Chain A
Amino acid sequence: MKQLKLACCSLLFLSCYGQSFAQDELPDIVKGFISHKVDLYIEEGGPQKLCDKKLERIPSTLCSEALACAAQSISGKGCDESTLKQTARQELKKPEFLNSALSNWMGQKTPFGFEFKTLDSEESGASVLGLTYDIDRAFFKGSEVKNTAKYIVEREGSFNASGTITNDSDKNPRNFLETKLTASQSYTTRIPVQSREFADQLTELVRAEAVACDYEGDSPPTECLEATAASQAQFNTTSEFLTSFQYLKGGLEAGYESDQKFDATQSTLGIFLYAQYEDWGTHSWAGKFKVTPSLRLAVNRINPNDDTPRALAGDDSSYYRVSGDVSVWMPLGTLYDRILVFTANYRHYSELDPSSIVKDTRLDSYNLRTFSLSGPNGLFVSYSSGKLPFDQQSDDVVALGFKTYFK
């Protein structure tokens, strides 16, 4: 970090003050020679090359502009300092630079999950710089509490805190901080342990497959397809002793939610249940279509203070809220060398027995449905409609309406 600051300062110093010592004392022929060499250096992309090679921690645009400016100042041509300062202001505030500086300073794993993000603020119509945090700690986790032939049963207690902080909270489009304690029990399908011969055979097959499929280009060679078919045939045999892989989880959660200034706050207490089903073969309709469905249901009692949106509308009473999240994930095969997956997600939130004030202000029920075609590296097309309660909005939510993501 020190080196980075030093390099930034040196570049700016050189570019701003190089002019003063370069020009006055030199004969014209030397000045002309220096000027010619500097022009050549800039034309050949010298500053950019030096930045890429030696000064990669400095934002590329700022680095090359500052070096070019420094070179021009030495040759007597001078440079536009205000443009350089403007570039510095912009580049040094970019999340990419700040995150990279944070990683260099604190290591790859930043404490508290700190990350800088650019957030689009609807109110101000401009982008604001936000610092997000996400702390997820388990106090007891992953130990089996019961040994059954079908399931691995585990208990877990965890603490989670997450939120986004901006310099001016009024311009924060994600002005919501959440702290949560969860106690849960989960059931994971137990995969029967296979024989040593099975394991050895599978190990050899996947080893051969990885080597045969380590090719360049888009079309897989025959040996890759053959090796893949052989290993997949071995995996397919597992469906003889395992019909499905399931993950079930239920528990209690207690939380405290607020805005950045802690003006609007509410406490929550509730129960939840999550279930995910994956057919391990073609034992059901889900297996035949390779569909993986999942479902999360929760009921929470919410106790808001006087500054929450609902209380400001005229009802500050405690209430129960039911929420559901249903997802379907289905591979569609390959189209024009692209792996395609269809996904559908439906989220629902509704207040149980809402007052007429809450109903009239339409704060009692929210739905969001999202459909997408995606691939292993992201979305291709998405369609989303509906709305979420403010305290459930996040960066993960897909833009409303149709959107394409082709580059």
Chain B
Amino acid sequence: MSWSSSNIAHAALYSFEKWDHDVSGISFKNAGEWSTDYLIGFAAGGSAEERKNKVEAHARKLDQVFKALFHASYEDDVDRAKAISAMAEVLGEPRKTMADLGEVADSAYKFRGEL
């Protein structure tokens, strides 16, 4: 599903990333275009290993935020490793955006509002 404010996975991602990046005034649409380098907090000039580690950390953080704070569960045929791996794959590609990550999060997690 494309980036939509009525999608609870997208809404949860949008809201958490705003809080995590200390941003308040940004539209849902514009935030969907945030780059993955910004989401993971990658510093320009950093090594490929640095990016990989930041990707791993951010994917794990999101997994826990969805599970522990939102009580989301995994979709059928998805487990923790698969969900983290799918998010890490998007986060590791600098040309991808928060909207792309939202699509993966929506496919991997079932949020309470959509149960």
Q: Is A350 an interface residue (CB 8 A)?
A: no
Q: Which residue of A lies closest to B11 (CB)?
A: A210
Give bound CA distance, A90 to B58, whole Å.
40
> Which residues of A lie under 8 Å from residue B81 when comparing CB positions?
141-143
The 8 A CB mask of B53-81 against A (1 = contact, 0 = none) is 11011001100110111110000000011
A376, B35: Cβ atoms closer than 8 Å:
yes
> Which residues of A lie under 8 Å from residue B64 when comparing CB positions?
152, 188, 190-191
Stretch at the interface among A63-71, A167-175, A301-309, A393-401: A393-401
A199, B112: Cβ atoms closer than 8 Å:
yes
Give bound CA distance, A202 to B65, whole Å.
11
> Within the complex, which residue of B19, B33, B57 is in contact with A232, where a contact is CB–CB below 8 Å?
B19
Q: Is A336 an interface residue (CB 8 A)?
A: no
> Within the complex, which residue of A199, A325, A398 is in contact with B70, where a contact is CB–CB below 8 Å?
A199
- What distance in Å separates the Cβ of A283 from its nearest Cβ neighbour in chain B? 15
B47, A325: Cβ atoms closer than 8 Å:
yes
Interface residues on B, range: 35 or more
Give bound CA distance, A370 to B45, whole Å.
6
Q: Which residue of B lies closest to A272 (CB)?
A: B49
B35, A378: Cβ atoms closer than 8 Å:
yes
Residues of A within 8 A of B (CB): 138, 141-143, 152, 162, 186, 188, 190-194, 196, 198-200, 202-203, 205-207, 209-211, 213-217, 219-220, 224-225, 228-229, 231-232, 235-236, 238, 245, 247, 249, 272, 274, 276, 290, 292, 294, 296, 298, 325, 327-329, 331, 333-334, 339, 341, 343-345, 347, 368-370, 372, 374-379, 382, 384, 392, 394, 396-398
26 contacts between A and B (CB under 8 A): A188-B60, A188-B64, A191-B64, A193-B67, A203-B112, A207-B8, A211-B5, A211-B6, A215-B28, A216-B29, A238-B69, A249-B56, A325-B49, A327-B46, A331-B21, A334-B23, A339-B21, A343-B43, A345-B45, A347-B45, A368-B45, A370-B44, A376-B38, A392-B47, A396-B45, A398-B45
